[in-house]
A and B are shown apart, each in its own frame.
Chain A
Amino acid sequence: MNNIITITQSVWLEMIRRKDIYIILTLQGFFTLLLSTIDAFGSDVPSSYIMDIGLMLAFLLSIAMSITMGARQFPNEIRSGTIFTILTKPIGRFEFLLGKWLGLWSGMIAANALFYLIVTGVTLSKGYAFELPVLIQVFCLHSVLLALITAISLFFTLFLTQGAGGTATGIFVVLCYLFVPRIPNLLAYESGWRATALTFIYYLSPHLELFDMRARVLHGWGILHGGIFIGTIGYGLLLTTVFLGFSWIIFRKKHFSRGANL
């Protein structure tokens, strides 16, 4: 357990040392403040549009950060040769993998909490009232989504280079988020083997859209039923475990060579 915590801390230190998060937080704040200056044809009714765009940015930026940060973990260690030092110490490969993922995920949750703080701060300052418990549910499902994306990102970079792994993760996430939920619509115009293949993809692919319940807080639909909420979290954690499991299968037998082209 101590080894996992040590690896987690090293990921945190790296995230703090790099300036990505600061820049992205500044961008988020800048965008959100810029939006708050819009005059809505003189209307003085508080609107959720700031929260809407702010949360959309939080989703986009946190997903982008999870992919880029996840994609550079293993390639960086291999490129710099530190992986040889680490793995000769009494740190198991499973502990190393889990530590990396946990560090990334916890770091992303912390960064995401700051994104949410900025958005809620600006939204509240404009007088828009929202249900805090619903926002907390949005944050929880968003955090589960980030757990899954960091696991996917780590998985791809175990057999691809940093660039290719990041790109593959990005494409996979976009497809699962935007394309897979539309498959029943596409099937209305397809038949034969294409329809069968699409149906297969629909049921087999991760449904990332389930972790996005922003509309509930933006349009006042109220708190999500506990059973569905827990079920969705369970689904996300199950998928994360599957991707971490695949990563472990690859990682435990992986042969590292110095000067690998990563």
Chain B
Amino acid sequence: MRAFLLRRVLAAAPLLLGSLTLLFLLLQLVPGRPFTAEAGAGVSPVAAERLRRISGADQPIAARYLAWVGGMLGGDLGYSWSERRPVADAVQEAASRTLLLTGTAIALQFAIGLGLGLLAAAAGPRLDRLLTAVAGILYSVPSFWLGLLLVGFFSVRLGWLPVSQIHSSDAGAWGTWPRLLDAARHLVLPCLALALPGAGGIALFVRDEVRAALAEGLALSARSRGLGRTRMVLRHGAGRALLAVSVLFGLAIPGLLGGSVVIETLFAWPGMGRLAYQGTLARDEPLVLGCAGVAALLVIAGSLAADVLSAAVDPRVRESLR
């Protein structure tokens, strides 16, 4: 297991380096040079030259690459001029909120997906068809649309849940429990919007996997000896479902992080996705690149965790990479 872990970590490192290199290459594709004095712009050629020297833009590309990647890896993501503070500070603050949102969403997604999938696998043909249809529809619904509909119904029409933000504006003066409740109320809608479409996909996958497991000889012989349907699913199907989930776990993270850009923006949730979006509108290159680098780090860490998870539940995975 330890050798496996070491191997996976060693394989993940070049992936991170590769993502940073990709971002750097994109940056190089931008036409024009930094601080180019255009006719009429208020920067004199002398000042532009000095700015280029201070910012290191006059260095050869290899030196700039090393400086940029080294900075990113060392935690120096540059300075965000729209936020007026170091990118690392802004991203750090936002990343914890994004982790709260996506972490809750991922737990909810797998809980609902696993439950729905196992239920459909255990159910008779009619209920199975209904549950499969529900899961298929959930899977096809855009998360941002779901978010807008949820807000329209639960916040605007019924007034039950807050429309946006991470906590109420006067929550600072409240006690611990009201504050936690307030935070939870703000989390419900964005979390559901983010989790439900993916949960539908997981349910479909889990159902098919469990059904396939139940059609195998071992399960069939157990059934012929009189094992009940529910116990069949739990004893012979649940293991397979767990394997499926450990594979899907790593695949779900990029989708959730991408989805959180839209959901955070819609719900004014002050996380990384919204930060990157605001950076995009302000054309704040260091901020957006910093967010993208951290997003890549999170995806790679997530898929590493998924690999470890699937190695922990499936001996075949451990063996295959020995």
Binding partners A and B: no
Interface residues, chain A, with chain B CB atoms under 8 Å away? none
Write the residues of chain B forming the contact surface with A, with a CB cutoff of 8 angstroms: none
